Amino acid sequence: MCFFHCISQAASTSVTRHIPCRSPVAYHAFCRSLYSPHRMTSIMSTVLGRQAGTVVGMQIDIVSVFPEYFDVLNLSLFGKAQSKGLVSVHAHNLRDWTHDVHHSVDDTPVGGGAGMVMKPEVWAECLDDLLGLEPQAITADSDTATAIETNTTDESGETDTADNTGDADETGETDTATQNSTLDGTLTDTPSEARRQTPARNLETVLIFPNPSAPLFTQRDATELSHAKRLVFGCGRYEGYDARIPAYYQAQGVDVREYSIGDYVLNGGEVAVSVMLEAITRLLPGFMGNPESIVEESYTGSEALLEHRQYTRPAVWRGMEVPDVLLSGDHGKVDRFRRDEALARTDAIRPDLIEQLDCALLSKADRKTLMALGWEVSAEHPRRLKRG
Protein backbone atom coordinates (compact mmCIF):
# COMPACT_ATOMS: atom_id res chain seq x y z
CA MET A 1 0.00 0.00 0.00
CA CYS A 2 1.52 3.34 -1.02
CA PHE A 3 2.05 6.13 1.49
CA PHE A 4 -0.39 8.57 -0.16
CA HIS A 5 -3.07 5.91 -0.36
CA CYS A 6 -2.59 5.42 3.40
CA ILE A 7 -3.14 9.15 3.95
CA SER A 8 -6.29 9.08 1.84
CA GLN A 9 -7.58 6.02 3.66
CA ALA A 10 -6.80 7.49 7.08
CA ALA A 11 -8.48 10.76 6.17
CA SER A 12 -11.57 9.01 4.87
CA THR A 13 -11.67 6.82 7.99
CA SER A 14 -11.47 9.95 10.13
CA VAL A 15 -14.28 11.53 8.14
CA THR A 16 -16.44 8.42 8.36
CA ARG A 17 -15.93 8.13 12.05
CA HIS A 18 -16.07 11.73 13.25
CA ILE A 19 -18.07 13.82 10.79
CA PRO A 20 -21.43 14.99 12.12
CA CYS A 21 -23.49 14.87 8.91
CA ARG A 22 -26.65 16.30 10.39
CA SER A 23 -26.34 19.78 8.85
CA PRO A 24 -24.50 21.66 6.08
CA VAL A 25 -23.04 24.00 8.70
CA ALA A 26 -21.53 21.11 10.61
CA TYR A 27 -20.29 19.52 7.39
CA HIS A 28 -18.41 22.61 6.25
CA ALA A 29 -17.02 23.22 9.72
CA PHE A 30 -15.72 19.67 9.78
CA CYS A 31 -14.14 20.02 6.34
CA ARG A 32 -12.32 23.14 7.51
CA SER A 33 -11.07 21.34 10.60
CA LEU A 34 -9.94 18.24 8.68
CA TYR A 35 -6.70 19.90 7.64
CA SER A 36 -6.05 21.73 10.88
CA PRO A 37 -2.76 20.90 12.64
CA HIS A 38 -4.34 18.63 15.27
CA ARG A 39 -6.38 16.75 12.66
CA MET A 40 -3.40 16.22 10.34
CA THR A 41 -1.29 15.08 13.30
CA SER A 42 -3.97 12.52 14.09
CA ILE A 43 -4.07 11.30 10.49
CA MET A 44 -0.28 11.11 10.20
CA SER A 45 -0.04 9.20 13.47
CA THR A 46 -2.54 6.68 12.13
CA VAL A 47 -0.68 6.34 8.83
CA LEU A 48 2.78 6.02 10.33
CA GLY A 49 1.51 3.56 12.92
CA ARG A 50 0.08 1.31 10.20
CA GLN A 51 3.17 1.62 8.04
CA ALA A 52 5.45 0.68 10.91
CA GLY A 53 3.18 -2.12 12.04
CA THR A 54 2.85 -0.64 15.52
CA VAL A 55 -0.13 -1.26 17.77
CA VAL A 56 -1.92 1.88 18.92
CA GLY A 57 -2.32 1.74 22.69
CA MET A 58 -4.62 3.91 24.76
CA GLN A 59 -7.07 5.94 22.68
CA ILE A 60 -7.79 9.45 23.95
CA ASP A 61 -10.61 11.66 22.65
CA ILE A 62 -10.95 15.24 23.88
CA VAL A 63 -13.98 17.44 23.20
CA SER A 64 -13.42 21.18 23.51
CA VAL A 65 -14.39 24.49 21.92
CA PHE A 66 -10.63 25.10 21.71
CA PRO A 67 -9.19 21.83 20.32
CA GLU A 68 -6.00 23.63 19.25
CA TYR A 69 -5.12 23.90 22.92
CA PHE A 70 -4.09 20.26 22.84
CA ASP A 71 -1.44 20.70 20.15
CA VAL A 72 0.89 20.88 23.17
CA LEU A 73 0.44 17.12 23.52
CA ASN A 74 2.72 16.72 20.49
CA LEU A 75 5.67 17.90 22.59
CA SER A 76 8.11 16.14 24.90
CA LEU A 77 7.36 12.67 26.26
CA PHE A 78 3.71 12.81 25.23
CA GLY A 79 4.68 13.49 21.63
CA LYS A 80 7.16 10.62 21.69
CA ALA A 81 4.51 8.32 23.16
CA GLN A 82 2.22 9.14 20.25
CA SER A 83 4.93 8.44 17.70
CA LYS A 84 5.60 5.08 19.38
CA GLY A 85 1.91 4.17 19.31
CA LEU A 86 1.51 4.10 23.11
CA VAL A 87 -1.29 6.65 22.91
CA SER A 88 -3.51 8.02 20.15
CA VAL A 89 -4.99 11.49 20.68
CA HIS A 90 -7.93 13.05 18.83
CA ALA A 91 -9.09 16.56 19.78
CA HIS A 92 -12.62 17.35 18.57
CA ASN A 93 -14.24 20.76 18.20
CA LEU A 94 -17.62 20.71 19.94
CA ARG A 95 -18.88 23.35 17.52
CA ASP A 96 -18.67 20.81 14.69
CA TRP A 97 -21.88 19.32 16.09
CA THR A 98 -23.86 22.58 16.04
CA HIS A 99 -26.55 23.40 13.47
CA ASP A 100 -26.86 27.18 13.58
CA VAL A 101 -24.85 29.82 11.78
CA HIS A 102 -23.29 31.03 15.03
CA HIS A 103 -22.18 27.53 16.12
CA SER A 104 -23.78 28.11 19.54
CA VAL A 105 -22.91 25.65 22.29
CA ASP A 106 -24.44 27.46 25.28
CA ASP A 107 -27.68 29.00 26.52
CA THR A 108 -28.94 30.94 29.52
CA PRO A 109 -29.46 29.11 32.82
CA VAL A 110 -32.97 27.83 33.45
CA GLY A 111 -34.25 29.63 36.52
CA GLY A 112 -32.08 32.66 35.90
CA GLY A 113 -28.60 33.58 36.98
CA ALA A 114 -25.37 34.94 35.57
CA GLY A 115 -23.38 33.40 32.74
CA MET A 116 -24.20 30.72 30.20
CA VAL A 117 -24.53 26.94 30.45
CA MET A 118 -23.36 24.49 27.79
CA LYS A 119 -26.32 22.89 26.01
CA PRO A 120 -27.03 19.17 26.36
CA GLU A 121 -28.22 18.81 22.73
CA VAL A 122 -24.83 19.67 21.24
CA TRP A 123 -22.90 17.59 23.74
CA ALA A 124 -25.23 14.65 23.19
CA GLU A 125 -24.80 14.63 19.41
CA CYS A 126 -21.03 14.79 19.83
CA LEU A 127 -20.79 12.10 22.51
CA ASP A 128 -23.31 9.83 20.77
CA ASP A 129 -21.06 9.91 17.68
CA LEU A 130 -17.87 9.29 19.63
CA LEU A 131 -19.35 6.57 21.83
CA GLY A 132 -21.43 4.95 19.08
CA LEU A 133 -24.71 5.36 20.94
CA GLU A 134 -28.25 5.96 19.72
CA PRO A 135 -30.36 8.70 21.35
CA GLN A 136 -32.50 7.40 24.20
CA ALA A 137 -35.18 9.08 26.31
CA ILE A 138 -34.69 8.76 30.06
CA THR A 139 -37.86 8.99 32.16
CA ALA A 140 -38.48 9.29 35.87
CA ASP A 141 -39.98 5.78 35.77
CA SER A 142 -36.74 4.32 34.43
CA ASP A 143 -34.90 1.76 36.51
CA THR A 144 -31.72 3.69 35.82
CA ALA A 145 -32.97 7.09 37.03
CA THR A 146 -34.80 8.68 39.95
CA ALA A 147 -37.15 11.62 40.34
CA ILE A 148 -35.90 15.12 39.67
CA GLU A 149 -35.33 16.44 43.11
CA THR A 150 -32.23 15.36 45.03
CA ASN A 151 -28.93 16.51 46.41
CA THR A 152 -27.21 19.77 45.54
CA THR A 153 -28.28 20.31 41.95
CA ASP A 154 -31.61 20.55 40.18
CA GLU A 155 -32.92 20.66 36.65
CA SER A 156 -32.72 24.43 36.60
CA GLY A 157 -29.00 24.26 35.90
CA GLU A 158 -28.31 26.96 38.50
CA THR A 159 -25.51 24.98 40.05
CA ASP A 160 -22.04 25.29 38.63
CA THR A 161 -21.12 21.95 37.17
CA ALA A 162 -18.19 23.46 35.35
CA ASP A 163 -14.94 21.80 34.58
CA ASN A 164 -13.16 23.64 37.33
CA THR A 165 -14.84 26.71 35.81
CA GLY A 166 -17.33 29.32 36.94
CA ASP A 167 -18.14 30.40 40.47
CA ALA A 168 -17.68 27.31 42.59
CA ASP A 169 -19.13 29.06 45.63
CA GLU A 170 -22.57 29.08 43.98
CA THR A 171 -22.66 25.32 43.85
CA GLY A 172 -22.13 24.57 47.49
CA GLU A 173 -20.40 21.38 48.47
CA THR A 174 -21.33 18.16 46.72
CA ASP A 175 -20.96 14.77 48.34
CA THR A 176 -17.38 13.73 47.73
CA ALA A 177 -18.40 10.11 47.30
CA THR A 178 -20.74 10.69 44.37
CA GLN A 179 -20.56 9.04 40.99
CA ASN A 180 -23.61 7.13 39.78
CA SER A 181 -26.32 9.02 37.94
CA THR A 182 -29.78 10.26 38.72
CA LEU A 183 -32.14 12.00 36.36
CA ASP A 184 -31.60 15.37 38.01
CA GLY A 185 -28.05 15.44 36.69
CA THR A 186 -26.18 14.49 39.85
CA LEU A 187 -23.80 11.58 40.08
CA THR A 188 -24.68 9.71 43.24
CA ASP A 189 -24.10 6.52 45.09
CA THR A 190 -20.76 4.94 44.89
CA PRO A 191 -17.82 6.16 44.01
CA SER A 192 -14.81 7.83 44.22
CA GLU A 193 -13.70 6.65 47.63
CA ALA A 194 -15.23 3.19 47.22
CA ARG A 195 -13.70 2.82 43.79
CA ARG A 196 -10.30 3.84 45.13
CA GLN A 197 -10.34 0.92 47.55
CA THR A 198 -10.56 -1.60 44.71
CA PRO A 199 -7.55 -2.94 42.81
CA ALA A 200 -6.74 -1.49 39.40
CA ARG A 201 -8.68 -3.26 36.70
CA ASN A 202 -8.81 -3.23 32.93
CA LEU A 203 -11.32 -0.64 31.78
CA GLU A 204 -12.87 -0.17 28.37
CA THR A 205 -14.14 3.38 27.74
CA VAL A 206 -14.31 6.00 30.49
CA LEU A 207 -16.01 9.38 29.99
CA ILE A 208 -14.48 12.11 32.17
CA PHE A 209 -15.65 15.64 32.96
CA PRO A 210 -13.52 18.01 35.05
CA ASN A 211 -15.75 19.64 37.66
CA PRO A 212 -14.77 21.80 40.68
CA SER A 213 -17.64 20.32 42.71
CA ALA A 214 -16.56 16.71 42.14
CA PRO A 215 -14.27 14.37 44.13
CA LEU A 216 -10.58 15.25 44.04
CA PHE A 217 -8.52 13.59 41.33
CA THR A 218 -5.71 11.62 42.99
CA GLN A 219 -2.76 9.44 42.09
CA ARG A 220 -4.94 6.40 42.75
CA ASP A 221 -7.40 7.60 40.13
CA ALA A 222 -4.56 8.18 37.69
CA THR A 223 -3.28 4.66 38.31
CA GLU A 224 -6.71 3.12 37.76
CA LEU A 225 -7.39 5.11 34.59
CA SER A 226 -3.99 4.18 33.16
CA HIS A 227 -5.49 0.71 32.63
CA ALA A 228 -8.32 2.00 30.43
CA LYS A 229 -8.36 1.26 26.72
CA ARG A 230 -10.05 4.55 25.86
CA LEU A 231 -10.57 7.86 27.66
CA VAL A 232 -13.05 10.48 26.45
CA PHE A 233 -12.72 13.92 28.07
CA GLY A 234 -15.33 16.67 27.94
CA CYS A 235 -14.06 20.21 28.52
CA GLY A 236 -16.71 22.59 29.84
CA ARG A 237 -16.68 26.36 29.60
CA TYR A 238 -18.69 29.35 30.81
CA GLU A 239 -20.82 28.37 33.85
CA GLY A 240 -20.25 24.72 33.04
CA TYR A 241 -22.22 22.00 31.28
CA ASP A 242 -25.86 21.05 31.83
CA ALA A 243 -25.88 18.67 34.81
CA ARG A 244 -28.00 16.14 32.90
CA ILE A 245 -25.21 15.35 30.44
CA PRO A 246 -23.04 13.10 32.67
CA ALA A 247 -26.17 11.69 34.31
CA TYR A 248 -27.64 10.69 30.95
CA TYR A 249 -24.53 8.79 29.85
CA GLN A 250 -24.20 7.09 33.21
CA ALA A 251 -27.79 5.91 32.76
CA GLN A 252 -26.77 4.52 29.34
CA GLY A 253 -24.21 2.30 31.02
CA VAL A 254 -21.17 4.45 30.28
CA ASP A 255 -18.47 4.63 32.96
CA VAL A 256 -18.70 8.36 33.76
CA ARG A 257 -16.36 10.19 36.12
CA GLU A 258 -16.31 13.79 37.31
CA TYR A 259 -13.13 15.01 38.97
CA SER A 260 -11.82 18.20 40.52
CA ILE A 261 -8.10 18.90 40.33
CA GLY A 262 -8.11 21.20 43.35
CA ASP A 263 -9.95 23.75 45.44
CA TYR A 264 -9.88 26.53 42.87
CA VAL A 265 -11.74 27.53 39.72
CA LEU A 266 -10.44 27.75 36.14
CA ASN A 267 -11.86 29.33 32.98
CA GLY A 268 -12.23 25.99 31.23
CA GLY A 269 -11.66 22.27 31.42
CA GLU A 270 -8.69 22.22 29.03
CA VAL A 271 -6.11 22.84 31.74
CA ALA A 272 -7.69 20.25 34.04
CA VAL A 273 -7.76 17.66 31.26
CA SER A 274 -4.10 18.32 30.49
CA VAL A 275 -3.22 17.76 34.15
CA MET A 276 -5.13 14.48 34.34
CA LEU A 277 -3.75 13.26 31.00
CA GLU A 278 -0.16 13.78 32.08
CA ALA A 279 -0.75 12.07 35.43
CA ILE A 280 -2.43 9.10 33.72
CA THR A 281 -0.29 8.52 30.65
CA ARG A 282 3.09 8.75 32.38
CA LEU A 283 2.11 5.53 34.15
CA LEU A 284 1.79 3.63 30.86
CA PRO A 285 4.54 1.04 30.30
CA GLY A 286 7.15 2.54 27.98
CA PHE A 287 6.03 6.15 28.45
CA MET A 288 8.83 7.20 30.80
CA GLY A 289 12.43 6.79 29.73
CA ASN A 290 13.31 5.34 33.14
CA PRO A 291 10.32 3.57 34.71
CA GLU A 292 12.05 3.47 38.10
CA SER A 293 11.74 7.26 38.30
CA ILE A 294 8.06 6.99 39.24
CA VAL A 295 8.43 4.32 41.94
CA GLU A 296 9.26 6.63 44.87
CA GLU A 297 7.30 9.70 43.79
CA SER A 298 4.86 11.49 46.05
CA TYR A 299 1.47 9.80 46.47
CA THR A 300 2.72 6.63 44.75
CA GLY A 301 1.95 3.16 46.10
CA SER A 302 -0.50 1.85 48.66
CA GLU A 303 1.34 3.59 51.52
CA ALA A 304 1.63 6.99 49.85
CA LEU A 305 3.89 9.68 51.32
CA LEU A 306 5.34 12.92 50.02
CA GLU A 307 8.67 12.31 48.34
CA HIS A 308 11.95 13.16 50.02
CA ARG A 309 13.92 16.15 48.71
CA GLN A 310 16.31 15.70 45.80
CA TYR A 311 19.82 17.04 45.22
CA THR A 312 22.40 16.94 42.45
CA ARG A 313 25.98 18.11 41.91
CA PRO A 314 27.85 20.16 43.01
CA ALA A 315 27.88 18.95 46.60
CA VAL A 316 28.43 22.53 47.76
CA TRP A 317 26.58 25.34 45.97
CA ARG A 318 26.77 28.95 47.10
CA GLY A 319 27.74 27.78 50.56
CA MET A 320 24.87 25.29 50.82
CA GLU A 321 25.81 21.62 51.22
CA VAL A 322 23.86 18.48 50.45
CA PRO A 323 23.33 16.21 53.50
CA ASP A 324 26.51 14.27 54.31
CA VAL A 325 24.73 10.93 54.39
CA LEU A 326 23.95 11.20 50.67
CA LEU A 327 27.70 11.32 49.97
CA SER A 328 28.54 8.38 52.25
CA GLY A 329 28.05 5.63 49.67
CA ASP A 330 26.14 3.61 52.27
CA HIS A 331 22.94 2.75 50.43
CA GLY A 332 21.22 1.48 53.58
CA LYS A 333 21.79 4.77 55.39
CA VAL A 334 20.76 6.74 52.30
CA ASP A 335 17.48 4.80 52.04
CA ARG A 336 16.77 5.29 55.75
CA PHE A 337 17.54 9.03 55.53
CA ARG A 338 15.19 9.45 52.59
CA ARG A 339 12.42 7.45 54.25
CA ASP A 340 12.70 9.49 57.44
CA GLU A 341 12.63 12.72 55.47
CA ALA A 342 9.56 11.55 53.53
CA LEU A 343 7.80 10.80 56.83
CA ALA A 344 8.83 14.17 58.30
CA ARG A 345 7.74 16.16 55.23
CA THR A 346 4.41 14.33 55.07
CA ASP A 347 3.89 14.96 58.80
CA ALA A 348 4.48 18.68 58.30
CA ILE A 349 2.57 19.19 55.03
CA ARG A 350 0.02 16.37 54.64
CA PRO A 351 -0.61 14.71 58.01
CA ASP A 352 -3.80 13.22 56.55
CA LEU A 353 -1.58 10.84 54.56
CA ILE A 354 0.14 9.71 57.75
CA GLU A 355 -3.28 8.91 59.23
CA GLN A 356 -3.97 6.56 56.31
CA LEU A 357 -0.85 4.42 56.84
CA ASP A 358 -1.28 0.82 57.98
CA CYS A 359 0.71 0.44 61.21
CA ALA A 360 1.10 -3.29 60.56
CA LEU A 361 3.16 -2.50 57.48
CA LEU A 362 5.46 -0.01 59.20
CA SER A 363 9.00 -1.06 59.99
CA LYS A 364 10.48 -0.66 63.46
CA ALA A 365 12.46 2.33 62.17
CA ASP A 366 9.30 3.88 60.69
CA ARG A 367 7.52 3.54 64.02
CA LYS A 368 10.44 5.12 65.85
CA THR A 369 10.47 8.08 63.47
CA LEU A 370 6.72 8.60 63.72
CA MET A 371 6.76 8.41 67.51
CA ALA A 372 9.51 11.05 67.53
CA LEU A 373 7.25 13.20 65.35
CA GLY A 374 4.39 12.87 67.84
CA TRP A 375 2.37 9.96 66.49
CA GLU A 376 0.95 6.98 68.36
CA VAL A 377 1.44 3.83 66.25
CA SER A 378 -0.03 0.96 68.28
CA ALA A 379 -3.48 1.03 66.64
CA GLU A 380 -4.49 0.14 63.08
CA HIS A 381 -3.52 3.58 61.79
CA PRO A 382 -1.23 6.26 63.26
CA ARG A 383 -2.93 8.78 65.56
CA ARG A 384 -1.61 12.25 66.33
CA LEU A 385 -0.90 12.65 70.04
CA LYS A 386 -2.22 15.80 71.63
CA ARG A 387 0.47 18.35 72.02
CA GLY A 388 0.82 19.94 75.43
Q: Which residues contact 215 (CB under 8 A, 6 or more apart)?
A: 176, 177, 178, 179, 191, 192, 193, 258, 259, 260
Between the two ends of the chain, the Cα-to-Cα distance in Å is 78
Whole-number Å distance between alpha carbons of 30 and 24? 10
pTM of the predicted model, to two decimals? Answer: 0.71
* Binding site as annotated, residues for S-adenosyl-L-methionine: 236, 261-266
294 contacts 307 by C-beta, under 8 angstroms? no
Q: Going from the first residue of the chain to its last (388 residues), give the mean pLDDT of each consecutive group of 10, the final group possibly shorter.
A: 47 42 50 46 42 66 98 94 96 98 96 96 98 89 40 36 41 37 45 45 88 95 96 96 97 97 96 97 85 59 84 97 97 96 96 95 97 97 87
pLDDT score for 17: 40
pLDDT score for 139: 76
pLDDT score for 290: 64
* Binding site as annotated, residues: 236, 261-266
In order of start, what are the domains of the chain with their CATH numbers?
56-291 (3.40.1280.10), 306-384 (1.10.1270.20)
Whole-number Å distance between alpha carbons of 183 and 347? 43
pLDDT score for 175: 38
Q: Which residues contact 257 (CB under 8 A, 6 or more apart)?
A: 179, 206, 207, 208, 209, 221, 225
pLDDT score for 304: 87
